[in-house]
Structure 1
């Protein structure tokens, strides 16, 4: 059951206007807290009002507003695309249409069609997934490879860290194969940062690397985003050219 708390004296404060969710039969405390947070989350309301499939759309939108990833006509690959918010933002920013799709998304979860986006129902970690993406790109290099992929957490910090690093590594390897010169790679990371070996590899192939936490990323969440910009290619690395901004 959901109700709205009222303040005293007939006046409602911002705190009082928050929706409170009462524990229901069969609902755990954690699920009750999650539901209450969702109902009071302004980004959830904005996503619904603006037609985005999830609040996560604002994460890539805010990063793009700050770092200017997307431009009209760019080709974009979205790894771990479900439910599709990032692909929606990319399609709008690049001018992608069904007649000339510029965005390719992949996820093992089912997704409803998105205008201007080619969607593949496939686990990106499977061996044939990269070839499927390259085929869907129609011979074009990608200007941006973005990944919001994450394994379900196990609750063991060390294990979860290793699993997310593995996802970043395979996403980065794919990006190195398909990115056009000056391309951008974006990937979700979690508290604990990026492994030094992986970061060193990215710094060899990109002009700048940094970590970012957009405003729409919840303050109590350990997530952040690794951004590598200015792809230099696999064979033209210039020692000492890298820059790293934490």
Structure 2
């Protein structure tokens, strides 16, 4: 009950319900796009770890604006979990670490490379921070390996990251493939969370580099670690604060939580109370 009340007081949760987004995470991608102009000139997109589909919703709405039907972009969403269909989005229930996933994605692009790859994947948080950060890093590396196989030169990769103790190693791995790597924190992401997003721009792999999902790229030499990526906050300062709670009333038909009266006891409970009174 407490969790439900907290969610209802969260501004982005309520805005997502009102605007028809599947999850509040839609605002994170929108705010990242405001800062980095991610969608400019994008024709082919891959959304990894896409369920429940809020980022795919953003892509389908933003990329089709003022675009003729004959020039509609191709959006492919991939996740192990089933996802409800979205108009203009091809949903695939596949494993992003499996080699057979790559040719299936490319077949939807006519074997052309993608302009943008995004990933909002995250593990089920256990509360053990070292374990959560490690699993998240593995998800990010899996997404990065697939992105290296499908991205065109100069393409962009955006993924969720947990800013933990060994985050510098991840930045170094990403810098091997991209000229510009930035750690961004959207305003819709709670400041109390370690969550952030790496925005990797201008895909430029080393000469002779051949990505292969059967042999994922990995770095174990800690001496190659360079400086940390620049950190940037995204979102209008006038937008709601993700860590604040707001009154529940958002329309004329809704009531503040304090004004809601608790439900009366069910009839069977009243009968039990009357029986106990009679016995006394």
Task: Tell me which residue corresponds to 1:202.
Answer: 174
Distance in 2 between the 1:80 and 1:98 partners?
27
8 Å CA contact retained: 2:183, 2:229 = no
- In structure 2, relative to structure 1, the CA distance for the partners of 1:61 and 1:97 (3 Å cut) is farther
Distance in 2 between the 1:97 and 1:61 partners?
22
Partner of residue 188 from structure 2, selected from 209, 216, 226? 216
Task: Tell me which residue corresponds to 1:38.
Answer: 7
Shift of 1:106: 0.8
User: Mind listing any 5+ residue stretches in structure 2 that lack a counterpart?
Assistant: 210-226, 232-280
For the residue of structure 1 that corresponds to 2:155, the secondary structure is: strand
Shift of 1:78: 0.4
For the residue of structure 2 that corresponds to 1:213, the secondary structure is: strand
Partner of residue 94 from structure 1, selected from 34, 59, 63? 63
Shift of 1:101: 4.8
1:76-112, CA deviations, whole angstroms, 9 ceiling, x for partnerless residues? 1100111111111112222289974511101122211
The number of residue pairs the alignment matches comes to 211
1:37-94, CA deviations, whole angstroms, 9 ceiling, x for partnerless residues? 2111111221122221111100000100111000255211100111111111112222
With normalisation by structure 2, the TM-score equals 0.68
With normalisation by structure 1, the TM-score equals 0.77
8 Å CA contact retained: 1:149, 1:167 = yes
Task: Tell me which residue corresponds to 1:60.
Answer: 29
Instruction: State the structure with bigger RCO (CA 8 A, min sep 6), 1 or 2.
Output: 2
Partner of residue 50 from structure 2, selected from 81, 91, 95? 81
- RMSD over aligned Cα, in angstroms? 2.4
Partner of residue 96 from structure 2, selected from 124, 127, 130? 124
- In structure 2, relative to structure 1, the CA distance for the partners of 1:73 and 1:36 (3 Å cut) is same
